[in-house]
Amino acid sequence: MAEIKQITMTVRDENLALHMGSGSLRVLATPAVVALMENAAASLAQVLLDNAELTTVGTMIAIEHTSPTPLGAEVTAEARLISEDGRTFQFEVSAFDKKGEIARGTHTRVSVKAEKFQAKADSKFDEV
């Protein structure tokens, strides 16, 4: 069973800080880096689940985004499972471009019953 997952993307206009509203520069936005790392962790967690009715939701992410990446560059995010305790999965996450590491941190995901969780969210603001 794989305990590491990598996902690669090319930085496009919609991934830039200027377009995402997280800054004024034409560099890869921190929210885009976070999403890519979370996607890698979610993909890995899904493989580790042994029940098709389950999925995972992110509950915590803490990263340092330490190096800018320009439009058109390729970025790879990696999620490495560091522990699994019942429903909780802990990951080390990182992201790299061709010049090296651009971000690193940790991410926690918790398994939930997909239909039940979605129904709870959908009914959150229903009037009683």
The residues annotated as belonging to the active site are 30, 38, 65
Contact indicator for 100, 76 with CB cutoff of 8 Å: no
Cα distances (angstroms) measured from residue 106 to each of 38, 42, 66, 80, 100: 10, 13, 15, 9, 18
| Sheet containing strand 54-65, strands side by side | 4-10, 74-85, 88-97, 100-113, 54-65
Query: Distance between CA atoms of 97 and 76, rounded to whole angstroms?
Result: 6
Contact indicator for 18, 24 with CB cutoff of 8 Å: yes
